[in-house]
Structure 1
Amino acid sequence: MTNFALKVTRLGFSLLQSVSPRIAGKAAFRLFCVTPSTKPKGEKAKAAHAAGAEKLAGAERFTLRLTGGGRAHAYRLNGGALGRRPRYLVTHGWGSSGAYMGDLAETLAATGAEVIAVDFPGHGRAAGRVLHMGMAVKAIAAAERRFGAFDAAIGHSFGGAALMVAAAGMLPGVTAVLPEKLALIGSPSEMHWLFKDFGKMIGLGRSAQQVLETEVFRVTGRRLEEFDASRAADAIRRPVLIVHAEDDKEVNANHARRYAAASDHVRLYWANGFGHRRIVGARPVLDAITGFLAEGDADKAAEIIPLFDLPARRMSL
C-alpha cells in the first residue's frame, strides 16, 4: 500500500472496529486475501516476467477447477511423451506467478522431466482476485488429479508452505498430495507472524485481531496455529531441501532454521546474497535443486548442509 492508502485503511478500520470488532476482523480477512495486480510493477519486474513468459511460451496450458469453486492455471512442459519420466510440480509465491518461476521450470524440463507450473487463483493467468492457504492447497490437489502423482514438488515462499501443508494433508476434506521429495525456496515455516504483522499494519485492536485469525478456521477447518509447516516436515517422512538466503528481507531466515531443526529428513542450503526474489533463478540454487532431485545424486547438490552440521546455526523464532 502507498502511505496515503495505508492511512485511509487504518482510519477506516479504526472507525469500523469501534462499532463492531467482529465486522472489522472479517473485513480485515477479506482484505488480507485480496491478491495484488497481475501486472508487473517496475522495469526489473517487467523484464523478469517477460523472460519467464518466454521460457513458458511453448508449454501446454490448462485450467484447473478447484473443489468448492475457483480456478487455477497450469503450464506443462514435456507433456505427452512416451515412457516413464519424472513429474515435477512448481508453485510460486504470493503476488508472483508461474512465469516468474520460468528459469526453474526450464531447468527441470531440461533434465527430461515433465514439469507442471501452477498459477494459483488470482495470480498469473488464473482468474479471480482472492487467495488463501485453503485455495492454494486445493489448487495443488487439482494439479495432481489432472496430471497424476508427482515425484517431486518445488515451491517458492507462500507456494512452498502450501506444498508442505498439502503434503501433510492438513486441510480437512482435501486428499494429501505427497511427492517423494520436496524443495522449498524462501518459504515460511508458519503463518501466525504474517497475520500479526498485517493486523498491526492496519491498526487492528485485540478483539478484531482475534476475529481475523478465527476466519482462518472458518475457511480452512484448521486454526491458524495449526499451519506449522516445520512440524509437517517431520510428519511426512520425506526428503526435504530447504533453500534460503540469510539476507532474505521478506521471510526471515529463522524459518529455514525451524525447518532444519524439525526433522533429520531436512537438508538446508544457504543461498546467501540472492534475497527473496532473485533466489528462484540463481544458478547455484537451480544446480542444488536439480542435484537434490536426481536419483542417488542428492549428495552432489552444492554445499547442502546436513542437519547434524547445524547446531551452531539453529535459532528459534
Structure 2
Amino acid sequence: MASFGMKVIRGVFGAAEHVAPGLSGRAAFELFCRTPNIKSLSDGERRAVERAAGFMAQARHHRLKTRTDCVAVHEFRTEPGRGSRGTVLVIHGWRSRTEYMRALIEGFCGAGYKVVSLDLPGHGHSLGRHLNMVNAVDAARVAGEWFGPFAAVVGHSFGGAIAANAVAASVKDMPPLAAERLVLI
C-alpha cells in the first residue's frame, strides 16, 4: 500500500498533468532523478559501510570534476610485486556505493587487475543529489580520461545501463568509453 506522501504526490501530478503537462513532466523527472540523502543510511547500509572500512582504507581515493559535479573514484591495486592484467572500472547501481561492490572488487584484484570504482553523483562519497543518464555517463567518461582505457567495464543494475551507454557513446557530445569488454550484472 502506498504511503500518504506517495498518494499526495500522485494526486498532485495527476491534476497538474491536465493543467501544465510540460511543466509537470519536467517536475516529475527532476523528482525521479533526486538521489536519497547519503547521510540517512538504513541500519543494514550503515553496517555494510562499517564492515568495509578496512577494505576502503586500502584504496587510493580521488575526486574528479565532471561537467556538473565532483565524483569520488576509488583505486584498488593488485598485491605489490604482482603485475597487472589491466584496469577494470566498476559502476554500482542506484542507491549503492563502492563499499557494496567489495566482493566483486576483491575478486578482480585477486585475479591481477587494478580496479577503479566510481561512486555515482549523489551516492557514496560523491557530491550532489541528482543522478540521470547524462551526468552518470559523464562521470564514467571522466574516470576513463584519468584511468582508462579499461580491460573491462563492469556495471551492476543501473550501473550496467550507464556502462553500456558510456561504451556505446549514446549520450550526445561524449566520446565512447574505451573498454575491451563490457560486463552487465
Q: Structure 2-normalised TM-score?
A: 0.90
Q: Is the 8 A contact 1:91 1:159 kept in 2?
A: yes
* Matches of 2:48 and 2:141, distance apart in 1: 28
User: Residue 183 of structure 1 corresponds to which residue in structure 2?
Assistant: 183
Once the two structures are TM-superposed, the CA of residue 151 in structure 1 deviates from its matched residue by 0.6
The CA deviation at 1:90 is 0.4
Instruction: Judge conservation of contact 2:38–2:123 (CA < 8 Å) in 1.
Output: yes
One-letter amino acid matched to 1:99: E
TM-fit CA distance, 1:114: 1.0
The corresponding residue for 1:6 is 6
Aligned residue type for 1:74 = V
Q: How does 1:122-271 map to 2 (within 5 A)?
A: 122-185=122-185
DSSP-derived class of the 2:154 partner:
strand
Q: Tell me if structure 1 keeps the 8 A contact 2:86–2:114.
A: yes
Q: Which amino acid aligns with 1:37?
A: N
With over 3 angstroms needed to count, the CA separation of the structure-2 counterparts of 1:95 and 1:84, relative to structure 1, is closer
Partner of 1:28: 28
Work out the CA distance in 2 between the residues paired with 1:99 and 1:51.
Answer: 9
CA change 1:129–1:157 in 2 (3 A) is same
Deviating above 4 A after TM superposition, structure 1's stretches of 4 or more consecutive aligned residues are 81-84
Other structure's SS at 1:180 match: strand
CA contact (8 A) 2:48 2:100 kept: yes
CA deviation vs aligned residue, 1:256-308 (integer Å, no higher than 9, x gap):
xxxxxxxxxxxxxxxxxxxxxxxxxxxxxxxxxxxxxxxxxxxxxxxxxxxxx
Is the Cα–Cα contact under 8 Å of residues 136 and 162 in structure 2 kept in the other structure?
A: yes
Any idea what the Cα deviations from partners look like across 1:30-70, whole Å, max 9, x if unmatched? 0111011224644333322322343222211111111x322
- What is aligned with 2:76? 77
CA contact (8 A) 2:68 2:135 kept: no
SS of match in other structure, 1:69: coil
8 Å Cα contact 1:78/1:113 also seen in 2 = yes
CA contact (8 A) 1:91 1:155 kept: yes
Once residues 133 and 162 of structure 2 are traced to their aligned partners in structure 1, the CA distance between those partners, rounded to angstroms, is: 6
Gaps of at least 5 residues in structure 2 are none
Task: Please say which structure displays the higher CA radius of gyration.
Answer: 1
Distance in 2 (alpha carbons) for counterparts of 1:40 and 1:69: 23
Distance (Å, rounded) in 2 between the aligned partners of 1:107 and 1:98 = 14
Quote the residue 2:86 is aligned against: 86
One-letter amino acid of the structure 1 residue matched with residue 96 of structure 2: S
Measured in 2, the distance between the counterparts of 1:100 and 1:132 equals: 20
2:161 aligned counterpart, secondary structure? helix
Does the aligned pair in 2 maintain the 1:88–1:154 contact within 8 Å? Answer: yes
Equivalent pairs: percent with the same residue? 37
- Whether contact under 8 Å (1:40, 1:49) holds in the other structure is no
Structure 1 residues 41 and 63: CA distance shift in structure 2, 3 A: closer
Counterpart Cα distance in 2 of 1:132 and 1:100: 20
Q: Using structure 1 for the length normalisation, give the TM-score.
A: 0.54
Structure number with higher strand proportion: 2
Cα distance per residue 1:57-93 (max 9 Å; x no partner): 2211111111x322211000118x7865411100100
Please give the per-residue CA displacement for 1:143-164, whole angstroms capped at 9, x wherever unaligned: 0111121111111000011101
SS of equivalent to 2:126:
coil
* Distance of aligned partners of 1:136 and 1:97 in 2 relative to their CA distance in 1, 3 Å threshold: same
Residues 84 and 114, structure 2, Cα contact 8 Å, conserved in 1: no
Letter aligned with residue 8 of structure 1: V
Aligned length: 183
Distance 1:40 1:184 in 2: 28
Give me the whole-angstrom Cα distance separating, in 1, the residues matched to 2:147 and 2:37: 28
Distance 1:103 1:177 in 2: 24
Q: Is the 8 A contact 2:84 2:113 kept in 1?
A: no
